[in-house]
A and B are shown apart, each in its own frame.
Chain A
Amino acid sequence: MIERVLARALRSGGDFAEVFAEDRRSSAARLDDGRVEDMVSGRDRGAGIRVVVGETTGFAHTSDLSERGLTEAAEAAGAAARSAAGGVHEISLRRVDAPAPNGVDVLPESVGKATKVGLLARADEAARQAGSAVRQVSAVYGDSRRRILVANSDGVLASDDQVKTRFAISVVASGDTGMQTGRESIGHTVGFELFDRYRVEDLAAEAAGRALAKLRARPAPSGSVPIVIKRGSGGILFHEACGHGLEADHIAKDVSVFAGKVGEQVASPLVTLIDDGTMGPEWGAYAIDDEGHPAARNVLIDKGVLTDYMWDWLRARKDGRAGTGNGRRETYQHLPMVRMTNTYLANGTEDPDEIIRQTPHGVYVAQLGGGQVNTATGDFVFGMTEAYLIENGELTEPLRDANLIGNGPQALLDIDAVGDDFAMGGPGTCGKQGQGVPVGTGQPTLRVKAMTVGGTAR
């Protein structure tokens, strides 16, 4: 049937047609203010059909997975691509297989709702026990199972079964200086066995500790200072400072500061940057990307030298080269784009404590929030949600939340110390042109010679 639908999509001409079918079930439970407020279940199922004619892509989607529904969508996509020449296409599909990044031991759908809800109450209790200044706690449990099937007129037929489980907790503490917040989250491409590896009580204590520490925080500095970033959540620095700029769609349109720089020294020799979709059980892992190609481990920067960009099928095909398994989409209702998976800085050799000791004055960032980048200028920001002043090589006072701003190419060159304590950070959602996809980031402790901290201290 899929072969017939693809042939129909190309009936009035076209270079390429693709069917992407998706069946997604999710469940989530939310606790706030001491109560489980609601439990939510979701079901989404449908297919997106893409037809490429020359430089033009036509796209349509349907929630009707019958042959009639798919055929109508195929004709709509074909018409949208405004085909020039007609032709007969015969398509025979070959299966593409790729190993799953990791096994799934306990499918979340096999776990009772009461057990999932029970995690929330445990976390709530642990957070409230962390200190009398804790005023409010909210926690979210979520799981999803996303089954996809991709087939295209090049003959590719591939499928994947992606199971994800996550937990997040936010704490509000109140003191003389007002209210402060602390957050912690964990998410992996695994089933309910996530909670064999992580105790929600520990996550709650982390989140509460952050909020409590910030009650005595002083305003962050204002201006350019050395920054030491703790291992884990600092990977977002690379996601923003250069990750987006290494996506082939930005390169093709010449709206990236990294265009035309393959083979050049773009970062400190201490920097080896990798994007790895095969990295189970991390949040951005999968076996097959949303264009039917296996995930891969791609070295983007090797000892400071730019080695390659990230590619989806469409851009790779135009350039007559292989893709890198980075074609992703939020749902069947979206066109695929070049997206990151798990992006991380490889380990260095220095003792992380020594990096702090050798920083006379600066800011130590222990947890980063989200960020944003303008790929054309390279300017990027990211938020610090747990940070301390470094004075005479020691961590001293906690700092209030603030954004940091820098320029990607400059920040990469300014990295002057990389630790040997690599770790991945929490689960992230990367937004690009209105589509959100799960991504992971990670890094060992590192130092940037100078970045601008956007605080209010005088």
Chain B
Amino acid sequence: MSAGELSELAERVAGWARDGEQVEAFVARGRDTEIQVYSGEVESLSSAESAGIGIRVVAGGRQGFAYAGSLAADVVEETLAEARDNAGFASPDEWVGLAVPDGVVAADLDLWRDDLAAFATADKVSLALDLEKAVRAGDPRIRQVESAEWGDGAYESAIATSTGIRAAWRRTVCYVSAQAVAGEGSETQTASGYSVGRGPGDIDLAKAASDAVERSTRLLGATKPRSGHLTVVFEPRITATLLALIAGTLDGEAVLKGRSLFGDRLGQAVAAPSLTLVDDPTDPDAYGATAYDAEGLATRRNALIEGGVLEKFLYNTYSARRAGTVSTASAVRAGFKSGPGTGARALSVLPGATGPDEILASVGDGLLVQSVSGLHSGVNPVSGDFSVGAEGMLIEGGAIGRPVRELTIASTLQRMLQDIVAIGNDIERLPSSATGVTLAIADVSMSGA
């Protein structure tokens, strides 16, 4: 099925709407390749195409949804019937409804690389093998490369509604990644390195290898630190994770339902004055860039926090209607198997004036965090409690000191935003819904021995 056929199918299904009924069809198709190598040989090679459809029906203020992992004509018809039937069991809600065209012009984004489809499997295998070799050769203390892989995907989506929405978009992505295992004596440390792009030309194999080597070896000798309160400095990867968590609390639907810890803070200072946080999916350099949101509205730049003041929440069509505002085109969905939720796609902060080294020098004594664990169990987006496992290096006398592990760092999301003391100028594009930058936060609890 060609890209045009995806749109045609979506339009055909939307056209089946009965009187007094709204129908939305979201059709997606993806092609993925994943190659894992181990010890100089291909361990596995998977290649497959998959497609599916998600159909939403709204009738009488009630919404129903059904999906199927097939685009066969009989399956599509059955899926629509199922969505229609499901709608009858939802509670009526006057705000439920599909998106309608709002006149915003979609950004002209080129997120598709034809040279990815032309890139031979043998070349992908070579890159993965080269990466494994480079990591092994990177340092005599590299004991093992747990996995080295190449992955790529080409994704096409189309959406149509009986309310007039017509949109189609596509993107390619590829990456290499390696998980390095460094060892000395009976001690082992691990770290990953990766490089991500839209086409093969974006891949930086040397950086992926050196990141994995440096980040695993520098943890060797790590010990459990003593508990205390100190300033933590997040590496760009960790900052990106934190920004995504913060944006999750700014979901307009959570606000309406009394579940956002910033729900009553619009217009107030919620962060240090140095923080400006923007979600801009029209930025072509952002990994999460897209011209349309998951309801088919053109995406737009949304400034969420400016100079520390909370300016905006993120809305999809439903939550915007209910809040009496307009959608920020922030509908997201996890493929064709779910209806639209709300979320940020391309967060970034206004960079500061100083580099990471200057930030370490200004902090003097603290903790540089290189990785965190237990995010899903340790961050409560409703209460704001934040407590995660961490690894990294102590900051001693303004420079990187001895490595530490088996510790947690804890605060609350509310306090961490207020306690930001430095933002770096080292913008790092990451395969995430947020851009990374070095960030220093004061007065965080570190629990260890």
Which residues does A use to contact B, with CB under 8 Å?
29, 32-46, 54-63, 73, 76, 80-82, 113-114, 117, 135-136, 172, 174, 178-181, 214, 220, 222-224, 253-255, 257, 333, 335, 368-372, 374, 376-377, 379-383, 385, 400-407, 452-456, 458
Contact with A along B332-373 (1 / 0, CB 8 A): 000001110000000000000000000000000000000001
- How far apart sit A224 and B446, CA to CA, in the bound complex (Å)? 12
Asked if residues A63 and B89 are in contact (CB atoms below 8 Å), the reply is no
| Contact (Cβ within 8 A) A382 B374 | yes
Provide the B177-190 mask, 1 if CB < 8 A to any CB of A, else 0: 00001000000111
- Bound CA–CA A357/B70 (angstroms): 59
Judge whether B86 and A454 touch: CB under 8 Å: no
Give bound CA distance, A174 to B50, whole Å.
Answer: 44
Given contacts A43-B67, A55-B41, A376-B181, contact A458 B229 (CB under 8 A): yes
Interface membership of B449, Cβ < 8 A: yes
Given the contacts A180-B382, A255-B146, A374-B190, A60 and B337 also touching, CB distance less than 8 Å? no
Closest to B336 in A: A42
B266 close to A (CB within 8 Å) = no
Bound CA–CA A136/B406 (angstroms): 36
Among residues of A, the one whose C-beta sits closest to the C-beta of B42 is A56
Residues A38 and B411 in contact, CB atoms below 8 Å apart: no
Asked if A178 and B67 make an inter-chain contact with CB atoms under 8 angstroms apart, the answer reads no
A222, B445: Cβ atoms closer than 8 Å = yes
Contacts of B391 in A (CB 8 A): 379
Which of B126-134, B256-264, B303-311, B393-401 has 4 or more CB atoms under 8 Å from chain A? B256-264
Indicate with 1 or 0, residue by residue over B385-408, a CB within 8 angstroms of chain A CB atoms.
101110100000000000001111
User: Given that A179-B383, A257-B188, A455-B387 are known contacts, is A33 also in contact with B257, CB under 8 Å in the complex?
Assistant: yes
Contacts of B447 in A (CB 8 A): 222-223, 405, 452-455
Most A CB contacts (10 A, CB to CB) among B48, B68, B257, B412 go to B48
Given contacts A40-B65, A383-B374, contact A81 B229 (CB under 8 A): no
B250 nearest CB across to chain A (Å): 15
Most buried by A among B44, B69, B378, B409: B378
Given that A114-B89, A401-B380 are known contacts, is A57 also in contact with B258, CB under 8 Å in the complex? Answer: no
- On chain B, the residues within 8 Å of A370 by CB distance are 374, 376-377
**Given the known A-B contacts A60-B46, A81-B45, A452-B448, are A38 and B90 also in contact in the complex, defined by CB atoms under 8 Å?**
yes
Tell me which residues across on chain A come within 8 A of B51, comparing CB atoms: 63
CB distance from A48 to the nearest CB of B (A): 8
Q: Supply 7 A–B pairs (Cβ within 8 Å), ascending by A.
A: A29-B89, A39-B90, A55-B42, A59-B44, A383-B374, A455-B410, A458-B229
Query: Distance in Å from the Cβ of A118 to the closest Cβ of chain B?
Result: 10
Report whether A333 and B50 are in contact in the complex, using a CB–CB cutoff of 8 Å. Answer: yes
- CB within 8 A of B339: which of A38, A63, A456? A38
Does chain A have a CB within 8 A of B112?
Answer: no
Contacting pair B144 A377 (CB below 8 A): no
CA distance A73 to B51 in the complex (A): 15
Output the residue of A62, A179, A180 with the most chain B CB within 10 A.
A179
Would A402 and B378 be within 8 Å (CB), given that A57-B43, A63-B69, A452-B448 are in contact? yes
Helix, strand, loop or mixed for chain A's interface? Answer: strand
Q: B45 to A59, Cβ gap below 8 A? A: yes
Residues from chain B with Cβ under 8 Å of A400 in the complex: 383, 385
Closest Cβ of chain A to B442, distance in Å, is: 14
Asked whether, in the complex, the Cβ of A371 is within 8 Å of the Cβ of B374, the reply is yes
Q: Is B27 an interface residue (CB 8 A)?
A: no
Tell me if B227 is interfacial: C-beta within 8 Å of chain A: yes
Partner of B383, one of A45, A62, A181: A181
0/1 interface trace, chain B 34-57, chain A, CB 8 Å (1 if under):
000011011111111011000000
Q: Is B296 an interface residue (CB 8 A)?
A: no
Do the beta carbons of A405 and B408 come within 8 Å of each other? yes
The 7 closest A-B pairs by CB, nearest first: A454-B408, A383-B377, A381-B374, A403-B378, A381-B389, A35-B91, A39-B86
Determine how close the nearest CB of chain B comes to the CB of A192; give it in whole angstroms. Answer: 16
Give the interface centre of B46, B82, B391 by most chain A CB atoms within 10 Å: B46
B75 at the interface (CB under 8 A from A): yes
Chain B contact residues, CB within 8 Å of chain A? 38-39, 41-48, 50-51, 63-70, 75, 78-79, 82-83, 85-91, 93, 121, 143-144, 146, 181, 188-190, 224, 227, 229, 256-259, 261, 337-339, 373-374, 376-378, 380, 382-385, 387-389, 391, 405-412, 445-449
Residues of A within 8 A of B382 (CB): 172, 179-181
Q: How far is the CA of A376 from the CA of B338 in the complex (A)?
A: 35
Q: How far is the CA of A117 from the CA of B382 in the complex (A)?
A: 26
Q: Which residues of A contact B261 (CB under 8 A)?
A: 178-179
Q: Which residues of B contact A253 (CB under 8 A)?
A: 38, 144, 146
Q: How far is the CB of B414 from chain A (nearest CB, A)?
A: 8
Residues of chain B within 8 A of A402, CB atoms compared: 378, 385, 387, 408, 410
Whole-angstrom CA separation of A57 from B63 in the bound complex: 44
Other A-B pairs beyond A80-B46, A380-B389, 7, CB < 8 Å: A40-B339, A43-B69, A43-B78, A181-B383, A223-B449, A402-B378, A403-B377
B378 touches A381 (CB 8 A): yes
Q: How far is the CA of A20 from the CA of B93 in the complex (A)?
A: 43
Distance to closest chain B CB from A162 (angstroms): 18
Query: In the docked arrangement, what's the CA distance between A255 and B75, Å?
Result: 45
Instruction: Give min CB distance, A168 to chain B, whole Å.
Output: 15
B66 touches A40 (CB 8 A): yes
B146 contacts A454, C-beta separation under 8 Å: no
Alpha-carbon distance A254/B39, docked complex (angstroms):
12
Given contacts A59-B45, A113-B89, is CB(A456)–CB(B410) below 8 Å?
yes
Output the least CB separation between A315 and chain B (Å).
Answer: 12
Q: Are B69 and A46 in contact (CB under 8 A)?
A: yes
* Nearest CB on B from A294, distance (A): 25
Let me know if B406 and A56 touch, CB within 8 A: no
A27 to B187 alpha-carbon distance, docked (Å): 48
Contact residues in B for A46 (Cβ distance below 8 Å): 50, 69
Question: Once bound together, how far apart are the Cα atoms of A81 and B45, in whole Å?
Answer: 7
CA distance A214 to B382 in the complex (A): 12
B198–chain A nearest beta-carbon distance, Å: 21
B389: chain A residues at CB < 8 Å are: 372, 379-381, 403, 405, 454
Residues of chain A with a CB closer than 8 A to B227's CB? 222-224
Residues of B within 8 A of A73 (CB): 48
| A34-B92 Cα distance, complex, nearest whole Å | 11
Closest B residue to A384 by beta carbon equals B377
Among A73, A178, A380, max chain B CB count under 10 A is at: A178
Q: How far is the CB of A261 from chain B (nearest CB, A)?
A: 12
Across the interface, which residues of B come within 8 angstroms of A380, CB to CB?
Answer: 389
Residues of A near B373 (CB, < 8 A) are 372, 374, 379, 381
Bound-state CA distance A29–B65 (Å) is 10
Residue pair B410, A222 in contact (C-beta under 8 Å)? yes
- CB of B377 within 8 A of CB of A369, answer yes
> Which A residues lie within 8 Å of B89 (CB)?
29, 36, 39, 113-114, 117
With A39-B89, A41-B66 in contact, do A455 and B445 touch (Cβ < 8 Å)? yes
Determine the chain B residues whose CB is within 8 A of the CB of A224 once the complex forms.
Answer: 227, 448-449
Flag if B48 contacts A333 (CB, 8 Å). yes
**With A38-B63, A172-B259, A223-B448 known to touch, is A452 a contact of B406 (CB < 8 Å)?**
yes
In whole Å, how far is B35's beta carbon from the nearest beta carbon of chain A? 9
Contact among B259, B383, B387 for A403, CB-based, below 8 A: B387
| Given known A43-B67, A382-B377, A400-B385, contact A62–B408 (CB-CB < 8 A) | no
Query: When chains A and B are docked, how far (Å) is the Cα of A136 from the Cα of B190?
Result: 42
The reply to whether B257 and A32 contact each other, CB–CB distance below 8 Å, is: yes
Contacts of A257 in B (CB 8 A): 188
Contacts of B65 in A (CB 8 A): 38-41
Q: CA A400 – CA B258 in complex, angstroms?
A: 20
Give CA–CA (A80, B383) in the complex, Å.
49
B135–chain A nearest beta-carbon distance, Å = 14
**B90 and A37 form a contact (CB under 8 A):** yes
Residues of B within 8 A of A29 (CB): 89
List B contacts of A379 (CB < 8 A): 373, 389, 391, 405-406
Q: Is the CB of B146 within 8 A of A44?
A: no
